[in-house]
């Protein structure tokens, strides 16, 4: 684990692999951490140099200092880390809110991208009212209390049956996060709308979803495909919201094909 100070905050990141290989940047979902990518690393590192980091108030990254977070703020944080890695262009993969960061990159920094893989996300995710309600509840109750209801929405039943402690483990990780940073990110998701910003992309774009995803169901990916001009999404059967955890070998294979 390494740290980079960005705007007075310590941001935790990992940069692994051969500097001669193409860089792939991985952006994790809300409430989780860069640990979601751990099981992909053995398959990715022969092909990529891998950069991952923790969102504000998540994992090893310090809490957000301001009163508002935007997709542009998160993209700027990512680009500062890419600068630290010394890469001019890079591949990108992001899940859920990580996919929102990817849409910001596609709409404003497409010249930096070699490719983008967006999973379990949408041009709009949920409703502003739902995100405002969650932000309010998190501020009042804290993340540990909220995790019990939120974490089960992340995974399909197959993953939970295969690994009985999966939910308890991620409850613990989510509960350790900073509630205000999480709430600010909820507020951001309630405002985010990329439906009019993704036309005419010159970047290879792959969309991936899960058949059992409650938070961003397959229709969310199909709508994003229409907005962006991407091809038909890859929908993974019996997978929920986090394919990097639920089917890491399958997801890694999709990413490796980007450079093969």
CATH homologous superfamily, domain 2-125+194-258: Alpha/Beta hydrolase fold, catalytic domain (3.40.50.1820)
Neighbours of 2 (CB within 10 A): 12
pLDDT of residue 200: 87
The SS3 call for residue 185 is helix
- Round the average pLDDT of the chain to a whole number and report it: 97
Strand partners, 94: 27, 118
Please write the tens of the pLDDT for every residue from 136-176.
Answer: 999 999 999 999 999 999 999 999 999 999 999 999 999 99
| 38 exposure class (CB count in 10 Å sphere: 0-12, 13-18, 19+) | middle
User: Does residue 258 register a pLDDT over 90?
Assistant: no
> Which pLDDT belongs to residue 100?
98
Domain ranges of the chain: 2-125+194-258
Report whether pLDDT(257) > 80: yes
Residues 45-97 have pLDDT tens digits of 999 999 999 999 999 999 999 999 999 999 999 999 999 999 999 999 999 99
Instruction: Work out the pLDDT band at 260, boundaries 50, 70, 90.
Output: low
Can you point out the beta strands (E) in 100-240?
Answer: 113-119, 205-210, 234-236
pLDDT of 105-146, one tens digit each?
Answer: 999 999 999 999 999 999 999 999 999 999 999 999 999 999
Q: How far is CA 257 from CA 91, 218, 242, 244, 254, in A?
A: 12, 22, 19, 16, 5
User: Considering only CA atoms, which of 38, 137, 15 is closest in space to residue 84?
Assistant: 15
27-54 mean pLDDT: 98
Whether 99 has a pLDDT exceeding 70, the answer reads yes
What does the alpha-carbon distance between residue 209 and residue 212 come to, in Å, rounded to a whole number?
9
The number of beta carbons lying within 10 Å of the beta carbon of residue 45 is 14
| Cβ-count burial 147-172 (b if 16+ within 10 Å, e if not) | beebbbebbbeebbeeeeebbeebbe
pTM of the model: 0.97
């Amino acid at each position: 684990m390494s740290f980079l100070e960005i705007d007075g905050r310590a941001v935790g990141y990992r940069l692994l692999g051969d500097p001669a290989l193409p860089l792939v940047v991985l952006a994790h979902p809300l409430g989780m951490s860069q640990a979601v990518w751990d099981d992909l690393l053995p398959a990715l590192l022969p092909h990529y140099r891998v950069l991952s980091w923790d969102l504000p108030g998540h994992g090893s990254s310090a809490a957000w200092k301001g009163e508002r977070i935007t997709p542009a703020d998160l993209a700027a944080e990512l680009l500062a880390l890419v600068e630290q890695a010394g890469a001019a262009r890079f591949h990108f993969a992001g899940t859920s809110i990580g996919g929102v960061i990817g849409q910001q990159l596609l709409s404003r920094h497409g010249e930096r991208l070699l490719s983008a893989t967006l999973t379990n996300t949408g041009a709009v995710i949920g409703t502003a009212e739902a995100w405002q309600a969650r932000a309010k509840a998190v501020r009042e109750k804290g993340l540990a209390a909220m995790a019990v209801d939120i974490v089960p929405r992340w995974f399909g039943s197959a993953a939970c049956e295969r690994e009985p402690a999966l939910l308890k483990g991620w409850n613990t990780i989510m509960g350790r996060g900073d509630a205000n940073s999480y709430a600010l990110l909820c507020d951001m998701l309630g405002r985010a709308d990329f439906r009019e910003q993704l036309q005419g992309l010159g970047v290879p774009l792959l969309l991936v979803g899960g058949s059992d995803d409650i938070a961003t169901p397959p229709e969310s990916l199909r709508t994003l495909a229409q907005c962006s001009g991407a091809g038909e999404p890859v929908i993974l059967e019996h997978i929920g919201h986090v394919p990097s955890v639920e089917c890491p070998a399958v997801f890694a294979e999709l990413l490796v094909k980007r450079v093969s």
